[in-house]
Chains A and B, each alone.
Chain A
Amino acid sequence: EVQLVESGGGLVKPGGSLRLSCAASGFTFSNAWMTWVRQAPGKGLEWVGRIKSKTDGGTTDYAAPVKGRFTISRDDSKNTLYLQMNSLKTEDTAVYYCTTQRSGSFEYWGQGTLVTVSS
């Protein structure tokens, strides 16, 4: 059974940093393309960014609002995906989901972790 468990969310001040983790199990993590999607309170879904598998180059792509501030990385030895968030803004407040990506779809989702950016 595929499981994705996010952690690391919490309250942070504007301008601060936070690192989210996503522990994966039930599939071959090293072969998977992984994505972060966020959802602001009461709002819709927003794609944050994606990392390819190392065999496919391990490259990353980001949405314009987070480019230059957020970094996605992976540790295949630990089956874990990361999202390093710097220079956080109040508009980054959201539930952050990690997902597996298959073709053009987000196939499996974690339960999400809430990030609140507030002074």
Chain B
Amino acid sequence: QSALTQPASVSGSPGQSITISCTGTSSDVGGYNYVSWYQQHPGKAPKLIISDVSNRPSGVSNRFSGSKSGNTASLTISGLQAEDEADYYCSSYTSSITWVFGGGTKLTVL
């Protein structure tokens, strides 16, 4: 199972919005609504920020939102803040009864 495709890096200024894409196939992202997103700060464990394509767990800022179209899922962060600088990973269930992650995207807040 190949990793999902994410851009290696994105950047934005405080207050701006950015979008991170996550591209898979009809056997994973496109076939199931089990896409999730994780935020990871350096040296820390990942944290779930979006589940099931677009659901925000309790306690996660409403500046984070998720969506999906076809084989591509997206994470949008609005009103960028310095604390959003981190690595972001998408994940999807697959038809092989496994899960696959994206390669990760490093977000830099300028």
Size of interface on A: residues with Cβ below 8 Å to B: 23
B91 within 8 Å of A by Cβ?
yes
Name the interface size band of chain B: 20 to 34
B45 touches A112 (CB 8 A): yes
List 21 contacting pairs A-B, 8 Å CB cutoff, sorted by A.
Answer: A37-B101, A44-B3, A44-B89, A44-B101, A44-B103, A45-B40, A45-B89, A45-B91, A45-B101, A64-B98, A97-B45, A103-B51, A103-B52, A105-B36, A105-B52, A106-B38, A106-B48, A107-B51, A108-B48, A109-B45, A111-B45
Alpha-carbon distance A81/B38, docked complex (angstroms): 22
| A47 with B46: CB separation less than 8 A | no
> Interface SS of chain A: helix, strand, loop or mixed?
strand
Quick check: B45 and A110 within 8 Å, CB to CB?
Answer: yes
Partner of B38, one of A45, A102, A110: A45
Residues of A within 8 A of B (CB): 35, 37, 44-47, 50, 61-64, 97, 102-112
Chain B residues with CB under 8 A of A102: 51
A110 and B46 CA atoms in complex are apart in Å by: 9
CA–CA, A96 and B108, complex, Å: 26
Asked if A97 meets B46 with Cβ closer than 8 Å, knowing A47-B101, A104-B93, the reply is yes
Report Cα–Cα, A50/B98, bound state, in Å: 8
List A contacts of B1 (CB < 8 A): 63-64
B97, A61: Cβ atoms closer than 8 Å = yes
